[in-house]
Amino acid sequence: MNVIRPITAADYASLHDIAEESGIGFTSLPVNEELLRKKINRAEASFTKKNVTGPGDESYLFVMEDTATGQVVGTSGIEAAVGLDDAFYHYHIGKVVHASRELDIHNTVEILTFCNDYTGVTEICTLFLREAARGGINGRFLSKVRFLFMMEHRERFSETVIAEMRGVSNEDGSSPFWEWLEEHFFSMDFPTADYLTGIGNKVFIAELMPKYPIYVNLLSEKAQAVIGQVHQKTRPALQLLQEEGFSCRGYVDIFDAGPTVEANLSHIRTAHASRKLPVVIDDQTAAQGQGHYIINTSIEDFRAVATEMAVSEEQQVAVLSRQAAAALNISEGESVRFAPVKFRD
C-alpha cells in the first residue's frame, strides 16, 4: 500500500534522488544539498506549527511511501502563500490596440507585462512521481491529496490556488522562449537561470528583466509558439488540473512561458466533493465499497491512503478496513475526510 505523509529529515536521500530524476525546468527541487535540507526543515516546522489562522510562510511537503518496501516513490507540496518573502514574478498576456480612424487602420497586438499579481495566493507545487511508480492512480492520488488537506485545514490557505506548469524545453535543457530573453537581456542560459531561481537567487530577475511590456510579435517565431504551452511530460498533470476546474487566466512563467493555472479552493472538484465522517472498522463492508482518496484530520501526523471504503448514509459513517485504519493512524470513532476516485457525472 502507498501512504502519503509529511516529509522528514530521514527522507533527504530520497528527495535528492527525486530532484536529480526530475531534471531541468523543475525549479522547486534544485539539486543542492543545503537547499533541499532547508526545504525539509521548513516543511517539518510548518507541519508542527500551532494556532495558524491564515496563510503565511508555511510550506507543506509530502512524500508517497511504498509501505511494502519502505521506499519513497514521489513527492508533492503546497506553498501556503507565495511572494511574501521573495518576489513572485509572472508575465501576463494582454492586448493593446493601435488604431487610426483617419487611416482606417486597426491593429490588435499581444503584449507580455511583468507583474506580481499572484502575491499571497496558495500554490500547489513540487509534484513528481518516480518512473517505477507511475501507473494506476498513483499520480492522481499524489496530486489530489493536497486538495483534501487544504479543505480540511482551510484556515491555513488562500481561497485562490495556483499551479505553475512546466513550459516547453528541449532535451538539452534549452527553452525557446528563454533563448530570446537570453539574447536580448540576460546573457545567461536557461539551466543557469532556472537553477539560480531554484536556490532562491531572484535578484537578477528584477535587475535584468525588461521593465516595460514586451510586444509578442517582436519575439522569435519559436518563442511565440511556446507561450502558454506545457512540456510534453507535463500534459497529464495539466489535464488532471483542468478536470479539477483549474484554468489559465493569461499568466505565464517568465523563463519558459509555461502557463499558470488557477482555481478557487471551494470550486476544486475533489475539494468540493469531499466529505468528513466518523469511522467504523469493518473489513468485509469496506471491501464492498468504492475506491476513495482518504485522509486523517491531523496536520503533524497526517496520513493519506487510496483504497476501497464504504459509506453508510443511514448511520452517517465511513467504513474502513483494519489495514486502511492502521495506515491512517486512526481508531474507530475518529473522523476522516475523503473523496471518490471516480466521479459519477
Q: What is the pLDDT at residue 27?
A: 63
Q: Which of 40, 31, 32, 34 is nearest to 12 (CA)?
A: 40
Asked whether 226 and 176 are in contact (CB, 8 A), the reply is: yes
**For 79-109, what is the HEC assignment?**
ECCCCCCCCCCEEEEEEEEEEECCCCEEEEE
Q: What is the pLDDT at residue 98?
A: 86
**Pairing status of strand 290-296 against strand 90-100:** unpaired
Q: What is the pLDDT at residue 21?
A: 83
Length of the chain in terms of residues written = 345
- Residue 147, CA distances (Å) to 64, 184, 285, 320, 326 in order: 16, 41, 27, 21, 22
Q: What is the pLDDT at residue 192?
A: 73
Question: In which residue ranges of the chain is CATH 3.40.630.30 found?
Answer: 2-89+116-269
Report pLDDT digits (tens) over 285-323.
999 999 999 999 999 999 999 999 999 999 999 999 999
Q: Which residues pair with 187 in a beta bridge?
A: none
Q: Which of 64, 57, 65, 66 is nearest to 38 (CA)?
A: 57
For the domain covering 2-89+116-269, report its CATH number: 3.40.630.30
The torsion defined by the Cα of 307, 156, 11 and 193, in degrees rounded to 10, comes to 120
pTM of the model: 0.90
Q: How far separated are the first and last CA of the chain, in Å rounded? A: 28
| pLDDT mean by block of 10 residues, the chain; 345 residues | 95 90 68 88 96 95 93 94 88 92 89 94 92 86 96 97 90 81 76 67 69 90 94 88 96 92 97 96 94 97 97 94 96 96 79
Which amino acids are annotated catalytic?
231
Q: Phi first, then psi: give them for residue 162, nearest 5 degrees.
A: -125, 165
Whether the CA torsion 327, 328, 331, 333 is positive or negative: it is: negative
In whole angstroms, what is the distance from residue 161 CA to residue 262 CA?
Answer: 6
Q: Which of 237, 216, 227, 232 is nearest to 259 (CA)?
A: 227
Q: What is the pLDDT at residue 204?
A: 66
Asked whether 270 and 293 are in contact (CB, 8 A), the reply is: yes
Q: Which three cell numbers stand for residue 205?
A: 530577475
CATH architecture of 274-340: Beta Barrel (2.40)
In terms of DSSP H, where are the helices of 216-260? 221-226, 235-244
**Pairing status of strand 247-252 against strand 214-215:** unpaired
In whole angstroms, what is the distance from residue 44 CA to residue 22 CA?
Answer: 22
In whole angstroms, what is the distance from residue 174 CA to residue 191 CA?
Answer: 7
Question: In which residue ranges of the chain is CATH 2.40.40.20 found?
Answer: 274-340
Q: What is the pLDDT at residue 217?
A: 92
In whole angstroms, what is the distance from residue 161 CA to residue 8 CA?
Answer: 25
